[in-house]
Amino acid sequence: MTRTIHLSLDINGRRHDLDIEPRVTLLDALREHLALTGTKKGCDQGQCGACTCHVDGSRVLSCLTLAAQVEGRQITTIEGIAAENGELHPVQAAFVEHDAFQCGYCTPGQIMSAVACIREGHAGSDEEIREYMSGNLCRCGAYNSIVAAVREAAEMA
C-alpha cells in the first residue's frame, strides 16, 4: 500500500508544497520532487557528506533526514546561499579562488559544510578545519585547496 502525505517545506525562504510517501528523504524530496538538484546524492548512507544541507542553520545530512521530519524547520540548500543579486557567498568565492575542486560533485556539500563550520567557530586552524570537515569526502583529493579556501573564508568572516 502506498501512502502519501502532504508536506509544506520552507526551503531557502520559499514555501514548497508536495505530496510524497513518508519514507522520502529530504534529499530525494529536493532532487526528485522540487528540482533542486544542487544538493548531491553520493553514498545515500550518511558516509560522504555530498548531501549536506542546513536545517535551522545547523548542517545535517539530507540523505538520513526524512522530509516529513523537517516540516516547520528552515531548510537552506546550496541554491540559497548566494545573494539575491547573484553575488557569490564568500565561501563559494573562496572555493573558486582556490580551485578547491576537481570534478565538483562533492562541492555543494563541502560549501554547505564549510559555511556552518565557520559559523560554529570550528575553523580556527588547518588542523581544526580538517577535523571538522572530515564528514565531507572528496574522491578527487582536493583537500589541500579546500582547507585553504575554508581558512581564507574564515579569516574574512
Binding site for other proteins (CB under 8 A): 1-3, 5, 21-23, 25, 44-46, 49, 52, 58-61, 64-66, 68-69, 72, 113, 116-117, 120, 122, 130-136
- Comparison of 87 and 144: residue with beta carbon closer to other proteins: 144
Shortest distance (Å) from residue 14 CB to other proteins: 22
Nearer to other proteins, 74 or 97 (CB): 74
3-state secondary structure of 128: helix
Q: How far is the CB of 134 from other proteins (least distance, A)?
A: 4
Indicate the pairing of strand 52-55 with strand 5-11: unpaired
* Closest alpha carbon to 10 in 28, 40, 34, 31: 34
Q: Which is nearer to other proteins, 8 or 134 (CB)?
A: 134
Task: Find cell 545535517 and name the residue.
Answer: 60
Please name which of 149, 30, 123 lies closest in space to residue 80, comparing C-alpha atoms: 30
Residue nearer to other proteins on the CB measure, 2 or 85: 2
Count CB-CB contacts under 10 A for residue 124.
12
Cβ of residue 83: shortest distance to other proteins, in angstroms?
Answer: 25
Q: Chain centroid to CA 90: how far?
A: 15
Q: What whole-number distance in Å separates Cα of residue 155 and Cα of residue 75?
A: 26
Residue 113 contacts residue 48 (beta carbons within 8 Å)? no
Nearer to other proteins, 5 or 103 (CB): 5
Provide the minimum distance between the beta carbon of 88 and other proteins in the complex, in angstroms, as a whole number: 23
State the minimum distance, in angstroms, from the CB of residue 156 to other proteins.
21
